[in-house]
Structure 1
Amino acid sequence: MSKDIWGFIECHRDFRDSEADSFWHAAIDLDHLNVQRNYDAFGCLFGVCDDEQFVPVAPVRGLPVDASNRAREGRETIGGRSASWVTWAELKQVDWDEESARPDCRIREYRLDADHGWQFLERHYSPPPRFVELCGQPLRIAGRPAEHFPEGSQWVDEDRMFRVERLRRRDAVTDGQWGPIWSVMRTLAALHGDDDVRLVVWFDD
């Protein structure tokens, strides 16, 4: 069953709202930042929907005991599970070049550039016909290449290359999708401190 992420970026202030019982304030709803469904990112950050490729940055910690009212109400409305949170201070310590514990379960495609050599093109959630032909295996095997071919295996066809290799954290949590979240958190942290800005999330199913 598919899962989506919900939550807020919260900021700790030295005052409470008139209706709040916490010093943490919900600064922005993730819904406004267009966070897309991405199981690689969910696993890398929170250990949700992952094949244990990475040690999660903030494995299911539950909702913070001092979560903002909006976060509490939002989770109750959605009925979400697997809640967790992570501060900007923790995210700044992440080694985004760290590789996964085992090769990526998806085949990775590269394109040959005359000036820059092989350039990464995309990961395929379904093996493209070109790769299926090159590897000479049925779809059930081509669809899970890391289980059937050694790490580093590659197939070249003119200007295309397909490889079995490991993911980096930055491949799972891409700037294209998560950049807006990091930008908001970075801005708030510059004003209030790295430990006083956090991402609070939960997932539906």
Structure 2
Amino acid sequence: MIDPEWQPEIAALFRAEAENLFGFAWAALTQGDTETARDLVQQTFQAAVQAWAELRIRSPEGQRRWLYRVLKNKAIDEWRKRRRIHLVDEVAVEDPHGEESLDVGRQVLSAAALQECWNVIAKMPPDRARVAFLHWAEDWSTREIADLLGISSSTVRGHLWKARTELLLRVGPQVPFIEDPEQEDWGRGTAS
């Protein structure tokens, strides 16, 4: 239950910030998905209401930073739910008669390797895990990730390099989604 005394304060914050939050969610976080952007803003303000006793004593700039941080985290949670990489790839092989068929054995190995990759990524430091997820599951570019997370492109590349190295060490060459390290997007950036 919201303290009736706080309702005008929360309403004022909503009027001051909701439009800009929606614009950011729409353009940067959902890439034009209006309904998801609206949902993210609503979820962010629901979190603000729940945390209002602490949030209300912050400066307007502190409140704004809190809202954007929560909005980004809500978006990442949403992306995790909608992950584009499927656990079973359809791996076609050609039989001796020239017909293609699905190789169930390769599908199972691919699914197991992919699941192990996500297990390894889930145990990485949070920033590295976010970068890895956005890059490999959501197909975001280095620049898009850097802009979203407020870090440099070289830091994103560093996180990807470390994540790739860890995946190859822990999962091996069966990692189904890792690019060639010679691509220009790779490098030993400054991530920690």
Structure 1 length as normaliser, TM-score? 0.26
Name which one, 1 or 2, has greater alpha-carbon Rg: 2
Structure 2 length as normaliser, TM-score? 0.27
**In proportion to residue count, which structure has more strand?**
1
Between 1 and 2, higher relative CO (CA 8 Å, sep ≥ 6) is seen in 1
